[in-house]
Structure 1
Amino acid sequence: MASVSIPSNPTFPFKCRAAVLKEYNQPLVIRDVLVDAPKFGEVFVRTVAAGVCHSDLHMIKGDWPLLSPLPMILGHEGAGIVVSVGPGVTRFQPGDHVIALFTANCGTCEPCQTGRPACCNGHSTRETGKHFDNTTRIKDAETGEGILSMSTVSLYSEYTVIPQEQLLPVKKSIPLNRASLVGCAVMTGVGAVVNTAKATVGTTVVVVGCGGVGLNAIQGARIAGCDQIIGIDLLQNKLDFAKQFGATHVINGKEVADTIAEVHKICPGGVDYVLDCIGNAKVLEQGFMMIKGGGTVVAVGIAPQTQMLSINAFMLALTEKRIVGSLYGSARSQVDMPRLLNLYEQKRLMLDELVSKEYTLDEINEGFELLKKGEVARGVIILARD
């Protein structure tokens, strides 16, 4: 592909285009925006590729109102090229290829210091859509209105400002339209299996929901050496994807009366792990009935804020079953993501096969429509060609 055109001396505020969420349950609006100069510890990035993720769809639908004040530029999975850096930036220089991380890793809070950086709480602005100094970096070019930033990255903008701790360098030999997927779906799915569940060779796994994250959970189980890997979905095309990525068995929830019973037919006594890659309380409750004593249900997808979980407390103690959450695949980004990229280069991690369709920024709403219909494994917005 042709090289990306990068301005050598950008003038700020820098004008570009972005897809903006202005109202819940409405299409994203393509607007001219003005991007401010990076401040201390921040990096000005040319976005090259950004994934069409179900988390962005949750934001569009208003499922997480506490996380999605409006207007906001979505896009939390992606990769790009460094254009310029702000004062105090020591990790990057212009021309570097980078993956965006949708969680900050301050390095000093208790979760970061105890090996759980995905749960970093070192920044009070984490859920506000603002940067660490409680201000925004992008505004509407016509109205001057400030626009909030999803996860402090805003990758559905042609150019964006990102804190350096939310960027990871990537080798220029790896295409950015593939590396971008590691920033969310791949890390979340694979990490849920190997980091959160800690699945080992010969264990049995059920993955419910065979979309972008679920497919990566399946290939994470394959890479980990799991024995029986069962994919469950309502759409046959997703189950076909699941088999391609490593599922040994698939169950179509529309075609069976009782998915719990079907799992027990394949694995009498239950499985070791169930991963809910949808984000649904009922799925978690069903997963509790699928696992064997001592087994683990992992909540990978994030449910709507109003859903509550109900399980039999007596059985919880009696069977030593566990229900655990997995944020970002319990990622240690600076360690785990380079390992995933190495697996890709070794042809053990499937990234090329994950991309079903690419779109331009102007086609972004088409991407979300196909995501709603379940017609793609992963869609990617191409904002520039690397």
Structure 2
Amino acid sequence: MPYEVQGVIARGKGQEVSLETVIVPDPGPGEAVVNVQACGVCHTDLHYREGGINDDFPFLLGHEAAGVVEAVGDGVTGLEPGDFVILNWRAVCGQCRACLRGRPWYCFNTHNAAQKMTLADGTELSPALGIGAFLEKTLVAAGQCTKVSAEAPAQVAGLLGCGVMAGIGAAINTGGVTRGDSVAVIGCGGVGDAAILGAQLAGAAKIIAVDVDDRKLEWARGFGATDTVNSRESDPVEAIRDLTGGFGADVVIEAVGRPETYKQAFYARDLAGTVVLVGVPTPEMTLELPLLDVFGRGGALKSSWYGDCLPSRDFPMLIDLFLQHRLPLDKFVSETIGLDQVEEAFAKMHRGEVLRSVVVF
């Protein structure tokens, strides 16, 4: 029998979200229904609401989630009811050219559930990042479920489903931060602070946090930043160069997703340094750089989707580090809220008052 639950819906661009009845089908072949225990309010959900991803309204929001498998469909192996899982939006196919070349974190054919969740009137919903988890039960492809230790609280584990994994992975996987590196992170929200944490975990010697908000810079210090720069008060490029002996940082991570901050990242890196874009731009944004500057600086310009993570590899490892008290994931949780407080959480996020509000069921 299909499940009938309440979910957070974005019906139109810029409209406040609403709490509406959602019909969740029984899992079909290769699918699973998951009892969502917690789901973080991620900036990507706000991007969806604002039409910054696409215009396939109505959206079922929420994607940064953890919970327990309720049921699985035919043909599902390695996953069964009762398993504690983090939901991921990179369910690798194993057959595309990226997977066959041993680079599954670039999988070009990630799986989502074949069936659609709907409103009570039959209107099909577009689930955020192929998940849709601001509701008590959600339907996903079985490959979107990554089993981890049930000892981790759901409100902490779920954060790896998007923002925290994106930031940690941007530093370690994409940026290749290693022992002794200098790292600058521009934008110290949840993703930026996760990048700082990842750089610290990788052994970076100097980690420079850049933001316009002193409160966020103080948070950044709590995640391992050795230096902070308020870019309202000083030129961040000059400040980063001053803090790195005049050379620029080995790795600069742009966690805002705007042309002006990307240019700062580009010019703040060392001559052969790496720029990592993990902030999410909107469709209308464009970037203009002198081609000679691109040619003359060497190094690498990279984009990081999901921190170039492989969920089956990275999620269990990071949860184990958390359980060993070596990775303070719980520090990202600013508050726990109810399902009817998501719109208010968006406002707090916009004002920079929280790192993560987490819906707990």
Give the TM interval when normalised to the shorter protein: over 0.9
1:161-172, aligned counterparts within 5 Å?
161-172=139-150
How far apart are the structure 2 equivalents of 1:359 and 1:233? 27
User: 1:19 touches 1:31 (CA, 8 Å); kept in 2?
Assistant: yes
Give the deviation of 1:281 after TM superposition.
1.7
User: 2:149 touches 2:319 (CA, 8 Å); kept in 1?
Assistant: no
Give the deviation of 1:245 after TM superposition.
0.3
How far apart are the structure 1 equivalents of 2:269 and 2:352? 27
User: 1:263 touches 1:290 (CA, 8 Å); kept in 2?
Assistant: yes
- Residue 30 of structure 2 is matched in structure 1 by 41
Percent identity over the alignment?
35
Cα deviation code 1:238-291 (max 9, x no counterpart) = 1111000000001112222x1111111111211111101111122111111101
Give, as a single letter, the amino acid of the residue that structure 1 aligns with 2:119. Answer: D
1:105 aligns with 2:95: no
- Residue 87 of structure 1 is matched in structure 2 by 74
Q: Report the aligned-residue RMSD.
A: 1.3
- Residue 118 of structure 1 is matched in structure 2 by 105
SS in 1 for 2:35: strand
How far apart are the structure 2 equivalents of 1:62 and 1:144? 22
- Residue 266 of structure 1 is matched in structure 2 by 243
Give, as a single letter, the amino acid of the residue that structure 1 aligns with 2:242. Answer: K
User: 2:275 touches 2:301 (CA, 8 Å); kept in 1?
Assistant: yes
Give, as a single letter, the amino acid of the residue that structure 1 aligns with 2:223. Answer: F
How far apart are the structure 2 equivalents of 1:139 and 1:197? 40
Gaps of 5+ in 1: 1-11
How far apart are the structure 2 equivalents of 1:250 and 1:64? 31
How far apart are the structure 2 equivalents of 1:164 and 1:224? 31
How far apart are the structure 2 equivalents of 1:315 and 1:222? 30
How far apart are the structure 1 equivalents of 2:168 and 2:119? 37
Give the deviation of 1:99 after TM superposition.
0.3
1:211 aligns with 2:198: no
How far apart are the structure 2 equivalents of 1:254 and 1:37? 52
Which sits farther off after the overlay, 77-86 or 301-310?
301-310
Give the deviation of 1:309 after TM superposition.
1.7
Give, as a single letter, the amino acid of the residue that structure 1 aligns with 2:80. Answer: Q
- Give the TM-score, by structure 1 length: 0.90
How far apart are the structure 2 equivalents of 1:15 and 1:55? 25
How far apart are the structure 1 equivalents of 2:296 and 2:127? 45
1:64 aligns with 2:53: yes
SS in 1 for 2:162: helix
1:272-351, aligned counterparts within 5 Å?
272-351=250-329
Give the deviation of 1:316 after TM superposition.
2.1
User: 1:116 touches 1:331 (CA, 8 Å); kept in 2?
Assistant: no
1:348-363, aligned counterparts within 5 Å?
348-363=326-341
Gaps of 5+ in 2: none
SS in 1 for 2:125: strand
Give, as a single letter, the amino acid of the residue that structure 1 aligns with 2:70. Answer: V
